[in-house]
Amino acid sequence: MATGRTHRPATRSRGIPEATVARLPLYLRALTALSERSVPTVSSEELAAAAGVNSAKLRKDFSYLGSYGTRGVGYDVEYLVYQISRELGLTQDWPVVIVGIGNLGAALANYGGFASRGFRVAALIDADPEMAGKQVAGITVQHSDEMERIISDNGVSIGVITTPPGVAQQVCDRLVAAGVTSILNFAPTVLSVPDGVDVRKVDLSIELQILAFHEQRKAGEEAANALPDGAVPASVTRKESADKGPDGDVPAVMPA
Amino acid sequence: MATGRTHRPATRSRGIPEATVARLPLYLRALTALSERSVPTVSSEELAAAAGVNSAKLRKDFSYLGSYGTRGVGYDVEYLVYQISRELGLTQDWPVVIVGIGNLGAALANYGGFASRGFRVAALIDADPEMAGKQVAGITVQHSDEMERIISDNGVSIGVITTPPGVAQQVCDRLVAAGVTSILNFAPTVLSVPDGVDVRKVDLSIELQILAFHEQRKAGEEAANALPDGAVPASVTRKESADKGPDGDVPAVMPA
DNA sequence: TGATGTGAACCCCTTCACAGCC
DNA sequence: GGCTGTGAAGGGGTTCACATCA
């Protein structure tokens, strides 16, 4: 990077931007598809198109990992798959527990994409005694009482919370106390965790609301602007119109 | 804003930063909880804590909406709930269709948080003739053949895709052709859409991979770096260190 | 020749710190 | 006195554009 060194700046290691990390899985997926089609190399342009980003961004992202490409040629697909997998920590197996086996928890348990990439459902946990013992996705549901033992026995460091919002924080606390340091939260609640624990959230309702915001914009401004605040709610005429388009390409993320 | 005007800058309307829009649902949720407890006002500090952000950010966010607070006092809860709802377009009803009624689609259909906030499941659609006619979450599943008619008849502008990845793009194309301009994609695929159509994606696998990356960091480098691929991986000294901590509060989504 | 790797410009967002108002 | 609203500073991330090198 800074230096013109080619072979892995050695100590650069830290400092992969969070935004880049969030895109690595995207690149990996695109590369895996190419790999299955036995494509040997790709240019940044082609791969970027497949991943839905622009090529400059992709090259910059890869530059944080090292110089894995060949000028005038492109990137070796297999090699990149390996490097990104390694960077993401997917060369090892991550046991995961899912807590809260309702509709969503069961759906996730059945989700194939899990095992495909280094993740293994180590246990399904539910607070309902009725659920305990039942089979979901070929796995026997266990009662919450077992949570600490399960986590400890399996060395689980990643937990998925699919409980009702009311109990999400306490489930989270127990997971953390038992040794979990990464949590994927599907419950519509803000979780507070100690330093060193990562939380990512997935929230259907929030996503829909963001879409609604833009949708309203597209429909025309009359609606929202029509009423002098203190006043009465809208009527919202609506009428198509493309204009604004939040962004040419993709919506976006954001850090925390 | 720019001007010192107090009463709804009228034409300011556009220009709410995307990052702010993404947090409005969070504020709204916290405010709704306060409202249910009949709390009349909140300070930026309290509300920020409840929403998991810092107070400066919250005040800045609200400043894009207008001057809705009272210095020395705080914000009126009910008033803010209304203003944010209006801004997000939740004062109207948004009919939504869910395409792909497998485990996940069914789970979403059963998800309560839907109706609670201006969203209404107008239809469940599946390509499997076996599914058509079945009841899921109290709604009769309809066959894909009906898609265009359903969207048109109900004025649907938001679609949720929970199909297998292989058919997601074609489903997307049909939705868009039929008039849908906002899509929430749960399929692990990059969707391409024309300008003016918003896509947000929710991807379990990507979230887990991001967590794995950080998890690997916490665990120390030995593991992944141990193998000398094409050359030698890094040594990456690193040693715990809370430092970086992806963030204190909340993670996020990402574009398409 | 052609595509990578990257400094530098640019832009958006976050954070600070305090002026302004109740 | 207390808390909002906001210029200004600071950081990150994206994009540009080109030097670099197989």
Binding site annotation covers A103? Answer: yes
Which residues in chain B are contacts of A196 at CB distance < 8 A? 218, 242, 245
Q: Domains in chain A, start-ordered, CATH in brackets?
A: 18-88 (1.10.10.10), 94-202 (3.40.50.720), 212-256 (no CATH)
pLDDT for the residue numbered B14: 55
Residue A14 pLDDT class (50, 70, 90 cuts): low
Q: Which nucleotides on chain D have any atom < 7 A from a protein Cβ?
A: 1-7, 12-17, 20-22
pLDDT at A171 over 80: yes
pLDDT for the residue numbered B52: 98
Angle at A32 between CA A80 and CA A122, to 5 degrees: 105
Q: How far is CA A148 from CA A177, A178, B120, in A?
A: 8, 5, 39
Q: What is the Cα–Cα distance from A129 to A122, expressed in whole angstroms?
A: 19
Q: Nucleotide D5: nearest residue by CA–C1'? A: B63
Q: Is residue A159 a contact partner of residue A184, using CB atoms and an 8 Å limit? A: yes
Model pLDDT for residues A41-64, shown as the tens digit of each residue: 999 999 999 999 999 999 999 999
Q: What is the Cα–Cα distance from B89 to B93, expressed in whole angstroms?
A: 9
pLDDT at A233 over 60: no
Model pLDDT for residues B32-55, shown as the tens digit of each residue: 999 999 999 999 999 999 999 999
pLDDT for the residue numbered A244: 29
**What is the token pair recorded at A42?**
């790709």
Q: Say what percent of chain A tops pLDDT 70.
A: 80
Mean per-residue pLDDT pooled into runs of 10, chain B (256 residues): 30 74 98 98 98 98 97 98 97 96 96 82 98 97 98 98 98 98 97 97 96 92 41 30 29 30
Q: Do the chains contact at A212 and B118, CB–CB below 8 Å?
A: yes
Window from A174-183, A195-204, A244-253 with minimum mean pLDDT: A244-253
Q: Is residue A37 a contact partner of residue A90, using CB atoms and an 8 Å limit? A: no
Which residues in chain B are contacts of A92 at CB distance < 8 A? 216, 223-224
Q: Please name the nucleotide lying closest to B72, CA to C1'.
A: D3
Q: What is the Cα–Cα distance from A239 to B179, expressed in whole angstroms?
A: 12
Q: How many angstroms away from the CA of B146 is the closest CA of chain A?
A: 22
pLDDT for the residue numbered A108: 96
pLDDT for the residue numbered A112: 78
Mean pLDDT of the region A8-19: 63
